[in-house]
Amino acid sequence: MTKNEYDVVVVGSGPGGLASAIEAKKNGTEDVLIIERDTELGGILLQCIHNGFGVELFKEDLPGPSYAQRFIQEALDLKVDTLLDSMVLEATPDRRLFVTSRKGGIQEIQAKALIFAMGCRERTRAQIRLPGTRPAGVYTAGTAQRWVNVEGFMPGKRFVILGSGDIGMIMARRLTFEGAKVERVLEIMPFLSGLMRNYVQCLQDFDIPLQLQHTVKRIIGDRRVEAVETVAVDERFQPIDGTEEIIPCDTLLLSVGLIPENELSRQAGITLDPLTSGPIVDSRFQTSVPGIFSAGNVVHVYDLVDWVTQAGFEAGRGAALYAQGKLPVSTSTIQTAGGDNVRYVVPQRIDLEALAQSGIPLQMRARLPIEEPAWVEAVTNGQQITRRALPYARPGEMVTLNLRPDHADDLRGADTITLNIMKR
Ligand SMILES: Cc1cc2nc3c(=O)[nH]c(=O)nc-3n(C[C@H](O)[C@H](O)[C@H](O)COP(=O)(O)OP(=O)(O)OC[C@H]3O[C@@H](n4cnc5c(N)ncnc54)[C@H](O)[C@@H]3O)c2cc1C
C-alpha cells in the first residue's frame, strides 16, 4: 500500500531512477518510493537485449535486462517501495505529485525530496518534417525495437534507416539477425551521430552501407511505404539536385535523436538548459528548484548507461541529505560553459565546497569530430586549470574531465570555468 508522504520519491525506474533510489536508501532515508508508468521496473533497458551494458561499472559486457536486474534486485532488497503502472501527471515546486493509475485513480503524494528520472523520448517524423505521403511503415527505431525484442513481431522486411544514432544502428543489426534486409543507413551530418563501436559491430560487420550527408527527400507509398527517395546534402544541409535515388523498401525507421522528457520539470518551475533540453543542475544534480533533483537521460542524453547510474547515485545522495535537512547550502558557486568545440557541459553549476570534498566529473559533447589526438582543457580567467589527453573527440561519444578537490582553490573568485576541445 503506497503512503501519501515519503522522504524521497523517484519518478522513473530506468537505471537513473533505480540508482538514485538505492543510494537515497543507503544514505539513511527511511521511506523511498519509485513511481513507474510501465508495468515493470527497468526503463528502456528492458527492450535492449543486445550486450554492451556495464563495461565501465562492472567491467562486464551485459545485456540491458541483466544490467537492470542487478539494480532492481538491490532496490527490492533495500525495501524501496514501488508504484507501477502509474503515471505522474503533475508536479509542483513544493514537491507534490499527482499520480494516476487504473487501480488507484488519482493519488496525491508529498515528497520531502524529489528525483526526476523520466528518461527521453524519440524524435518523430513530424519533428523533422519529412515530406511525402503518410503511409503505414514509418516508425521510430525504439518502437521497432520494442516490437521485435519484447512483443515478438517484425515491423517489415525491407528497411531504410534514417539517422546514425545508436538505436538505429543496433536495430539494423537486430533486423538483419531476424532475416530482414536493411538497404542502408542515411545520416544528414558529415559524421556518425552514435558510437563508433556500434558502427563497426552493427553496420560494418553486416555489410550495411552508411551514407553520410544524405537524407530522405520523400516517402513514397499509398497505404504502405513502397520506397523512399534519398538525396545528398551540402554543408548547409540543402539537397543537391541530381543526386536523388529511389530505394524500394516497406519500412522507414527513424533514429534522429532523443528529447529529454521534461514536462514535469517545466510544471515544477525548473529552469531548463536550451543546449541540453534538460534541467540546469549542480554537481549533486539538484535543479534550480531546491529539493528537486534530476538524473539520467532527463538531464542530457548519455551514450553509456554506466554514467547514468553514477549520476543516479549522486542525485540519490543529494536527495537523501536534503530530505534529512543536512544538505549544505552553497556559498560559492561557479558556472561551467562550453568554449571551443564544446556543445554543452553538465553540471552547469559547481559548488566549490562540494568540489573541495570529493572532486567533480564534468561531462560534455564535442561539436565536431577530431580524428586525431586531442586535448580537453578547463580554463578560467585565461588560466588553464587542468587538461586531459584524448585519442580523438567525436560528437557521438561523451567526454569527461575530472576536477580534483585541489582545483577548488584555483577556482575561488572566478565566475565561469570554460571547457575547450582541440587538436593536440
Ligand atoms: C535502444 C537503446 C540502446 C542503448 N544501448 C546502450 C548500450 O549498448 N550500452 C549502454 O551503456 N547504453 C545504451 N543505451 C543507453 C542507456 O540505455 C540509457 O542511457 C539509459 O537507459 C537511460 O536511463 P534513464 O534512467 O535516464 O531513462 P530510461 O531507461 O528511459 O527510464 C525512464 C523511465 O521513466 C519512466 N517515466 C517517464 N515519465 C514518467 C511519468 N510521468 N510517470 C512515471 N514514469 C515515467 C519511463 O516509463 C521509463 O521507465 C541505449 C539506449 C537505447 C534507447
Ligand 1 centre and the CA of 38: distance in Å?
12
Is residue 296 lining ligand 1, measured as CB closer than 6 Å?
yes
Is residue 342 lining ligand 1, measured as CB closer than 6 Å?
no
pLDDT at 131 over 90: no
Is residue 200 lining ligand 1, measured as CB closer than 6 Å?
no
Retrieve residue 32's grid coordinates.
523511498
Q: What is the DSSP letter of 208?
A: -
CA distances to 279, 352, 392 from 287, rounded to whole Å, are: 6, 17, 32
Mean pLDDT of 190-201: 93
Write down the residue that cell numbers 556518425 correspond to. Answer: 192
What is the C-alpha to C-alpha distance for residues 347 and 337, in angstroms, rounded to an integer?
A: 10
Determine which residue's CA is closest to atom 18 belonging to ligand 1: 305
Is residue 145 lining ligand 1, measured as CB closer than 6 Å?
yes
What is the C-alpha to C-alpha distance for residues 51 and 59, in angstroms, rounded to an integer?
A: 13
Ligand 1 centre and the CA of 356: distance in Å?
32
Ligand 1 centre and the CA of 44: distance in Å?
4
Please write the tens of the pLDDT for every residue from 260-297. Answer: 999 999 999 999 999 999 999 999 999 999 999 999 99
**Beta sheet of 333-338, edge-to-edge order:** 349-351, 333-338, 416-423, 374-380, 383-390
Retrieve residue 231's grid coordinates.
538525396
**113: Cβ contacts below 8 Å, ≥ 6 apart:** 7, 8, 9, 24, 95, 291, 292, 293, 318, 319, 320, 322, 323
Evaluate whether 210 touches 199 at the Cβ level (below 8 Å).
Answer: yes
Ligand 1 centre and the CA of 47: distance in Å?
10
What band does 1 get if pLDDT is binned at 50, 70 and 90?
A: low
Evaluate whether 193 touches 109 at the Cβ level (below 8 Å).
Answer: no
pLDDT at 197 over 80: yes
Please write the tens of the pLDDT for every residue from 334-348. Answer: 999 999 999 999 999
Ligand 1 centre and the CA of 13: distance in Å?
9
Determine which residue's CA is closest to atom 11 belonging to ligand 1: 304
Query: How many other CB atoms are there within 10 angstroms of residue 239's CB atom?
Result: 15
Determine which residue's CA is closest to atom 39 belonging to ligand 1: 118
Percentage of the chain with pLDDT > 70?
100
What's residue 133's pLDDT?
A: 80
**286: Cβ contacts below 8 Å, ≥ 6 apart:** 292, 293, 315, 318, 322, 327
Cis peptide before 347 (omega within 30 of 0): yes
**169: Cβ contacts below 8 Å, ≥ 6 apart:** 161, 185, 194, 198, 199, 202, 203, 255
pLDDT at 157 over 80: yes
Closest CA to 38 of 24, 57, 19, 17: 17
pLDDT at 90 over 90: yes
391 burial class (0-12, 13-18, 19+ CB within 10 angstroms)?
Answer: exposed
Is residue 38 lining ligand 1, measured as CB closer than 6 Å?
yes
Is residue 43 lining ligand 1, measured as CB closer than 6 Å?
yes
Please write the tens of the pLDDT for every residue from 315-334. Answer: 999 999 999 999 988 888 99
**CA dihedral angle for residue 57, residue 58, residue 63, residue 68, rounded to 10 degrees:** -70
What is the C-alpha to C-alpha distance for residues 11 and 33, in angstroms, rounded to an integer?
A: 9
Please write the tens of the pLDDT for every residue from 31-86. Answer: 999 999 999 999 999 999 999 899 989 999 999 999 999 999 999 999 999 999 99
Is residue 48 lining ligand 1, measured as CB closer than 6 Å?
yes
Please write the tens of the pLDDT for every residue from 338-388. Answer: 999 999 999 999 999 999 998 999 999 999 999 999 999 999 999 999 999
Q: What angle do CA 363, 306, 210 make, to 5 degrees?
A: 80
Is residue 17 lining ligand 1, measured as CB closer than 6 Å?
yes
Mean pLDDT of 113-118: 98
Instruction: Please report, for the chain, how many H helices and E strands are present, in that order.
Output: 10, 25
- Mean pLDDT across the chain: 95
Is residue 16 lining ligand 1, measured as CB closer than 6 Å?
yes
Closest CA to 202 of 181, 172, 226, 225: 172
Please write the tens of the pLDDT for every residue from 72-82. Answer: 999 999 999 99
Q: What is the SS3 assignment for 351?
A: strand
What is the per-residue burial (b if ≥16 Cβ within 10 Å, else e) of 189-207?
beebbbbeebbebbbeeee
What is the C-alpha to C-alpha distance for residues 297 and 118, in angstroms, rounded to an integer?
A: 7
Determine which residue's CA is closest to atom 52 belonging to ligand 1: 167
What's residue 171's pLDDT?
A: 96
What band does 311 get if pLDDT is binned at 50, 70 and 90?
A: very high
pTM reported for the whole predicted model: 0.95
Evaluate whether 319 touches 8 at the Cβ level (below 8 Å).
Answer: yes
Ligand 1 centre and the CA of 414: distance in Å?
36
